[in-house]
């Protein structure tokens, strides 16, 4: 499991805190994980394209 450290604009962080404080999420981690999951859900094509390019390299030049 990787930990990601990043800077969040104050206003955005305020919205995060507000959602957590009002009980929509257990904590900030849960909210960020959910946001990331949704991002990945909607960006699978781009991710897939990157993976396919890596696959092309492995397929043509890999050692195993």
Partner 1 sequence: MEKIKGYNAAVCDAGPVIHLDELGSLDLLSDFHPLLISKTVQSEIIKHRPTALKSAGFKIKLVDLIAPQGPRLSVLSKALSLDQGELESLSVAQEMPGVFFLTDDAAARLAGEELGCKVHGTIGIILRAIRNKMKTPQEVVGLLNQIPSKTTLFLRPALLEEITQKVKKEYSL
By the criterion CB under 8 A, which residues form the site for partner 1? 1-2, 33, 36-37, 40-41, 44-45, 47-49, 51-52, 54-56, 58-60, 62, 64
Alpha-carbon distance of 56 to 53, in angstroms, equals 5
Name the minimum Å distance from CB 10 to partner 1.
26
Name the minimum Å distance from CB 17 to partner 1.
21
If the CB atoms of residues 8 and 56 are measured against partner 1, the closer one turns out to be 56
Radius of gyration of the chain (CA): 17
């Amino acid at each position: 499991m990787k930990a990601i450290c990043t800077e969040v604009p104050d206003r955005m962080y305020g919205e995060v805190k507000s959602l957590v404080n009002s009980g929509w999420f257990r904590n900030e981690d849960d909210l960020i994980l959910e946001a990331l999951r949704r991002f990945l859900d909607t960006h699978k094509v781009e991710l897939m394209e990157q993976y396919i390019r890596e696959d092309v390299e492995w397929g043509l030049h890999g050692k195993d």
